[in-house]
Structure 1
Amino acid sequence: MVDAEKRLLGHALEDPNNQHFVLLSDSCVPLHNFDYVYNYLMFTNISYIDCFEDPGPHGNGRYSDHMMPEVEVKDFRKGAQQIDCLEAVINHSQNPLIMWFSMKRQHAIIVMADSLYYTKFKLYCRPGMDGRNCYADEHYLPTLFNMIDPTGIANWSVTHVDWSEGKWHPKHTGVKTSAIDMSYHVTSNEKEHEKYHMFELLLQKKMMIQPCLWNGVKRPCYLFARKFYPEAQDNLLHLFSNYTTV
């Protein structure tokens, strides 16, 4: 997956006019109008890459000592959107989670230029390595930027996804749609276990609920959402028309 992401970035970088790069899929929809999204991404100096430290078995527990000395466990980070995306997804899915990033040009160039850290993840962060199931697409970008430019990224993704069904894959939304709370960013803390209801998600973990700050001002966290069927179009146009302004 990381190889595919790097190929996409490399191709997009060939156009010098491209200054920001967003990874999306054909099931993603915008939550705001074009001008809002453009201004949100272009008039800030940060990239939006989900990044947090997870001391549990699905975070630092995946780290391999073979990654030393370039990558130490204290620098190892995770970026799986939406709180581990349920253990069932991590343990059983044949398709590891994708980092839905939004990246400034200077950071895209860094990713393309990197071979040192990338090689470490390609060799030692993979399923079955040292008896662990490590997925480079969940850890490479968060760890890389935590090490080389931690203040240059916002520690959340601008793409919302709904894991409320508790299945191996995120919820697909058809004709029926519901509101999305775009004001907060949620990551996991496995030390305590409480129930929180956020983004229609109910998990047996404590959530670290943080407002999303854009240039120091509280703004909605999300610019895009997934996964939506084509038949959801009419309802989405009505629902998200209310989200075009702050």
Structure 2
Amino acid sequence: MLQNVTWGEPNMVQAERRLLANALLDLSNQRFILLSESCIPLFNFKTVYDYVMDSTKTFVEAYDLPGPVGRDRYRKQMSPTIKLEQWRKGSQWFEVDRQLALEVVSDRRYFPLFEKYCVPSCYSDEHYLPTYMSIKFWKKNSNRTLHWVDWSRGGPHPSRYQRTDVTHEFLSKMRFGTTCEYNGNNTNICHLFARKFMPNTLDRLLRFAPKLMQFD
């Protein structure tokens, strides 16, 4: 059955939960990554697969942010189940393992509060999973996302990239320009995907990919 999804509404998270529920039906699926049509891979399949499958953590960005787009979106009606000090913000673009995917789709304690109270100007896709993970599974979470994105220009949406933006230097920056922790060690491979790339970037990406990203 077709169901409408509206940007900024709790039904965005409900759609993500439905995607996870369908993916869980295949018992061979052990890791789950949310991507959009504007996401591109930054590494070849083997690198991405090994990175995700060998990780001891999941990847849900979660942080405490004072101010109007962070703590001020908290709704006091969520207390005492969710307290202000537990409120987190982060990217909706997640990577979780099978156990956590099962927990998310079966959550009947926290998500109903978001459905009822976290409506614009509270945005559930930026708060539900970060808050839920930080309350229930913080020991398993890396508190970072695998998706490279640029918010430096400000506004409600990240930078969008056109054909002329795609260069070897730019792609290399996304691939190796950050340091982070992976399985207890420092690494410069922190992002496996990047967004938002417009359709007109495809020809240049396909031209660079075989050599730069070692695609077959």
TM-score of the two chains, using structure 2 as the length reference: 0.83
1-side partners of 2:176 and 2:63: how far apart? 18
Question: Which residue number in structure 1 is paired with residue 37 of structure 2?
Answer: 26
Which whole-Å deviations, capped at 9, do the CAs of 1:226-245 have from their partners, x for residues lacking one?
2223332342245554356x
Question: Which residue number in structure 2 is paired with residue 124 of structure 1?
Answer: 117
1-side partners of 2:130 and 2:26: how far apart? 25
Instruction: Identify the match of residue 170 of structure 1 among 149, 152, 158.
Output: 158
Question: Which residue number in structure 1 is paired with residue 181 of structure 2?
Answer: 213
Question: Which residue number in structure 2 is paired with residue 202 of structure 1?
Answer: none
- State whether structure 2 residue 50 is matched by structure 1 residue 42: no
1-side partners of 2:177 and 2:72: how far apart? 27
Question: Which residue number in structure 2 is paired with residue 100 of structure 1?
Answer: 93
For the Cα contact (< 8 Å) 1:49–1:101, is it kept in 2?
yes
User: SS of the counterpart of 2:72?
Assistant: helix
For the Cα contact (< 8 Å) 1:46–1:152, is it kept in 2?
yes
Shift of 1:9: 0.4
Distance 1:184 1:103, change over 3 A: farther
Question: Which residue number in structure 1 is paired with residue 145 of structure 2?
Answer: 157
Shift of 1:168: 4.5
Which whole-Å deviations, capped at 9, do the CAs of 1:57-97 have from their partners, x for residues lacking one?
211111111101110111110004xxxxxxxxxxxxxxxxx
For the Cα contact (< 8 Å) 1:45–1:104, is it kept in 2?
no
Distance 1:69 1:47, change over 3 A: same
Question: Which residue number in structure 2 is paired with residue 139 of structure 1?
Answer: 127
2-side partners of 1:68 and 1:28: how far apart? 36
Matches within 5 A, 1:34-113: 34-80=45-91, 99-113=92-106
User: SS of the counterpart of 1:170?
Assistant: coil
CA RMSD of aligned residues (A): 2.1
Distance 1:154 1:243, change over 3 A: farther
Distance 1:216 1:39, change over 3 A: same
1-side partners of 2:155 and 2:88: how far apart? 24
2-side partners of 1:165 and 1:141: how far apart? 25
Write the letter of the residue equivalent to 1:110: E
Identity %: 41
- State whether structure 2 residue 182 is matched by structure 1 residue 222: no
Which whole-Å deviations, capped at 9, do the CAs of 1:113-165 have from their partners, x for residues lacking one?
111100111111111xxxxx111110000000101111211111111123344
Gaps of 5+ in 2: 1-11
Write the letter of the residue equivalent to 2:56: N
